[in-house]
Amino acid sequence: MTHIRRLTVLGSTGSIGESTLDVVARHPDRFQAVALTADKNVEKMFEQCKRFHPLYAVMLNEQSAGQLEDKLRAANLATTVLSGVESLEKVASLPEIDTVMAAIVGAAGIRPTLSAARAGKHILLANKETLVMAGRIFMDTIRQHHATLLPIDSEHNAIFQSLPQHYNGDLTGSGVRRILLTASGGPFRKSDLQTLATVTPEQACAHPNWVMGRKISVDSATMMNKGLEVIEAHWLFNVEPSRIQVVVHPQSVIHSMVEYIDGSVLAQLGNPDMRTPIAHALGYPERMESGVQSMDIFKIAQLNFEAPDFERFPCLGLAYEALSKGGNMPAVLNAANEVAVEVFLAGKISFTAIPAIIRHVMQSIDRQEVTDLDDVIQADSLARETARKWLADNQVRKNGRLDTSAISG
């Protein structure tokens, strides 16, 4: 008899959450969605509750929780509605679940993901910030409570698949020379540098290969997304920054590679569809149908590779710098980036102001050691406060947006 894996999906209305439920729906004999969570997308959550009949639905926003509860009652659905961060932590550690898809975007995902780790759950990690902001704390918690961790980011999942099957965190002892982390280069890989200041949020969100949320699409356009993935790879695979090479690969067919000391390079290839790493992690160590079409290797015809341009993508260099400094600096980097991307998407700053804000915040805050989650939250809060104060102090306007010539430093 097949064991039914019982899931909590943190962030079920986002792109990763929806892809997860798409895979789950293909295998009703193997998976049951016990709890679904979202911020405030009531309509989408209602539709998911109608389809999957979870025991719990959590809305981070209290008003949205009330609206969802009204709709569920009117539809005569028995799902219990909860709200708030504490409820996210509760459904991430329910005794009746064994697996947690951690797909909440941003710092809001850290507490419930840590809660799942403390409960010894099987964690499918799509939330970057848990590792970026609290990497050492999270990995220590995973080990202490014998939780299982499988990466969902297509790149880290590709690395996981390309490493030795029972990799134990010893890169050299496993015969590995380095990690090759691929990046598409985003929509501005070949754009004239002088035009980047006039990039609109719509242009930044128009990724050439992947369909993603707006925040992560902007991160891809600045290559901050890849910088955060370098930090993630450091913690996931216990590899020093000098052995993580970013490779720009526009086709997004090779999702990442592992180079061995004998000269072999193992790569994981596939169509750019997040259901592949999701299905791999859900079924691990077995393989199962994901709904992803077979890759047409003849249609692809060729694969290209380039070195990253750190002048074009200063956010990538800032991420390497934050990882090298360690302590609170990755949390500072992440928080400053979240503020910068938020105001860019609101049309209040230019695209090129994003790295300028991050650089200012990193230079303004002293490096501190991080020993617990309170230290992480304090670093996050201070960085956000610093970024917002600087934005308020530099309200030099040109065409309705912050003038980047005033903040180039």
Report residue 214's pLDDT band, with 50, 70 and 90 as the boundaries: confident
Please determine, for residue 59, whether its predicted confidence score (pLDDT) is greater than 60. yes
Average pLDDT on 212-217 reads 82
Q: Minimal CA–CA distance to 106: which of 60, 140, 137, 75?
A: 60
Around Cβ 146, how many Cβ atoms within 10 Å?
8
What the block records as the tokens of 168 is 């134990």
pLDDT of residue 209: 67
Range 5-151 classified under CATH 3.90.1150.10:
no
Q: Minimal CA–CA distance to 182: which of 317, 314, 307, 16?
A: 307
Residue spans per domain, the chain: 5-151, 153-271+293-311, 326-397
Which DSSP string corresponds to 192-214?
-GGGGGG--HHHHT--SS----H
pTM (2 decimals)?
Answer: 0.91
Task: Quote the CA–CA distance of 194 and 209 in Å, as a whole number.
Answer: 24
Q: What is the dihedral of CA 21, 27, 30, 31, to 10 degrees?
A: 20
CATH number for the domain formed by residue range(s) 326-397: 1.10.1740.10
Report residue 32's pLDDT band, with 50, 70 and 90 as the boundaries: very high
Summary mean pLDDT of the chain: 93
Report residue 301's pLDDT band, with 50, 70 and 90 as the boundaries: confident
Average pLDDT on 186-207 reads 89
pLDDT digits 0-9 by tens, 318-354 = 999 999 999 999 999 999 999 999 999 999 999 999 9
pLDDT digits 0-9 by tens, 231-241 = 999 999 999 99
Task: Quote the CA–CA distance of 226 and 319 in Å, as a whole number.
Answer: 9
Average pLDDT on 281-302 reads 94
pLDDT of residue 55: 98
Q: Is the dihedral of CA 13, 14, 20, 26 positive or negative?
A: positive
Report residue 409's pLDDT band, with 50, 70 and 90 as the boundaries: very low
| Edge-to-edge strands, sheet with 56-59 | 80-83, 56-59, 31-38, 5-10, 99-102, 122-125, 148-151
pLDDT digits 0-9 by tens, 94-152 = 999 999 999 998 778 999 999 999 999 999 999 888 999 999 999 999 999 999 999 99
pLDDT of residue 122: 97
Report residue 408's pLDDT band, with 50, 70 and 90 as the boundaries: very low
